[in-house]
Every structure is written in structure tokens, then in C-alpha cells.
Amino acid sequence: MRTIHIANEKKRNANVSLESKSQKKRVEYVIPDGSIKKNVTLLKTTLSQNLPSLLDQYGTLDNIAQQIIDSDPEVDLEKTGMILENTRKLYLSQDNKILYGVDLFEISRSPDGEEKERKYYSKNLANVNIDIPVKCSNKLIPKDKAIKMFVFSHKYQIKHVNGLTYDFLFDIAKRLHDANAFMFVGAGQKGMDPLVLYTGGTSYRAFLEGRVKNDTYCLIMHLSNLELKELVS
């Protein structure tokens, strides 16, 4: 169960559940025999059949072309086309040796391909379930205004895990329901930083929406990384 550490505007905080609700597909695609299609990963070639290995073996592209005509050295009939499962990404050196210590860089290039800048690639660290809670602000945005300002690409339901957190989340949802508004929530000491759900993930602005009916509630966190702006002529 994914969790989020969240604090309300009164600085009361709690760890609660964060769930993504997937919608069931209404249309299913089938293959000619009527069975449900599925995606699979197929082995295209092995390391010994890739182009660098063939160049090391035969020297030139012309020699490789002739060998392909004569004996098909680029195909392993026992392995090509195998269905792969539980694969992992590995980084290899130029001589096809596995690398165990890899430094990743972000490289900026000019239009002609010349390298302009090189810096270490830094991953965004997850910040929704750390010691510093995600903070609810007092900034409310009417729903009809919010949907014209942001593109919401993801949404998660925030749910209680016990009776105490039920009251905690119900109060937040009721306030938003009564105001018919979204509330901005942010990470960091000041509660102004974007949310990162997992290490290496995308940074998002987050907004809470609350719906209440009798003693039940629904608290939804909408995520956006794209803001809509008016076209100025």
C-alpha cells in the first residue's frame, strides 16, 4: 500500500493511504481465434549476433553482408524470437562487458551536434512519505477556474487507515466540498515544492478535491505539470 504523509492547515499530520483507481476497459481487443491479445517481449538478437560483434569477427560491413548471404550469422535459430520475462536493464562497455558502476550525465548539444554542457544526471527524490509532511495550504481555487488553468494528468484517492485518520481526512474533504474548490498542497519545509511520488519520477503540482455525502467522503489528489495560459496576440 502506497502512503502519503500529509498535514492539514492546522499543522496536524498523519500517514494515510494513497491509491490510484484504474478504470476497467470497456473495449477488449482479440486476435482472430477469439483469445485476448497480450503484449510480450521478444528476443531480437543475442550479444554475439549484434553489429559490433559481427564487425569484430568479419572486419567490414561488406564482409558481414557476404556472410549474411552465405550463412546468416546475425540469427541464432535457437534463441531469436524467444519470449522474455522478468528482464533487467544492464549497462555495457564498448567491449560488451557489464558495467557495475555507472555515472549518468545530461548532455546539451547545439543544433550542429556540438556538446555545449555536461552535468551529472540527478533524479528527483520522492517526497510524499518522508519526515516532512505534504502540507495543505489555505490557497483555494474554485473548481471551474482550476480546470481552465491546469491540465490534470493523474489523480489519486487519499483514504484513511483507521478511525482517527477518518476524522482527519473527512474534515479536509468537507471544507473543500462546502467551498466547491480545489486546495493547493505542496512538499518541503514551506509546503511550496512540487510533489514527487517516487524517486526518479516527475514533479507535479498537487491539488485536493473533496466530496462529502452524509458521513462518507472522497478526497482526491489531482496532479498537474502543465499550466494553461491565455493566447496573447
Does residue 113 form part of some domain? no
Does residue 160 form part of some domain? yes
Lowest pLDDT segment from 67-76, 137-146, 208-217: 67-76
Does residue 89 form part of some domain? no
Q: What is the pLDDT of residue 128?
A: 93
| Same domain, yes or no: 158 and 221 | yes
More confident residue, 73 or 135: 135
Does residue 51 form part of some domain? yes
The residues with which 142 forms a beta bridge, in sequence order, are 181
Does residue 112 form part of some domain? no
From the list 153, 199, 209, the residue with the least C-alpha distance to 177 is 209
With bands split at pLDDT 50, 70 and 90, how would you rate the model's confidence at 232? low
As to burial, measured by CB atoms within 10 angstroms (0-12 exposed, 13-18 middle, 19+ buried), residue 126 is middle
Does residue 174 form part of some domain? yes
For the chain, the farthest-separated pair of C-alpha atoms sits apart, in whole angstroms, at 78
| Same domain, yes or no: 16 and 50 | no
Within a 10 A sphere around the Cβ of 40, how many other Cβ atoms?
8
Q: pLDDT at residue 189 above 70?
A: yes
Query: Which residue is listed with cell 487519499?
Result: 158
Q: What is the pLDDT of residue 211?
A: 95
Domain holding 50, by residue range, is 44-80
Within a 10 A sphere around the Cβ of 110, how many other Cβ atoms?
9
Query: Which residue is listed with cell 564498448?
Result: 94
Q: Domain total for the chain?
A: 2
Q: What is the pLDDT of residue 233?
A: 56
Q: What is the pLDDT of residue 45?
A: 85
CA distances from 40 to 84, 175, 183, 189 (A): 7, 47, 42, 44
Each residue of 80-136: pLDDT tens digit? 889 988 888 888 887 778 888 778 888 888 888 889 898 888 788 899 999 999 999
Does residue 85 form part of some domain? no
Does residue 92 form part of some domain? no
| Same domain, yes or no: 8 and 54 | no
Q: pLDDT at residue 170 above 70?
A: yes
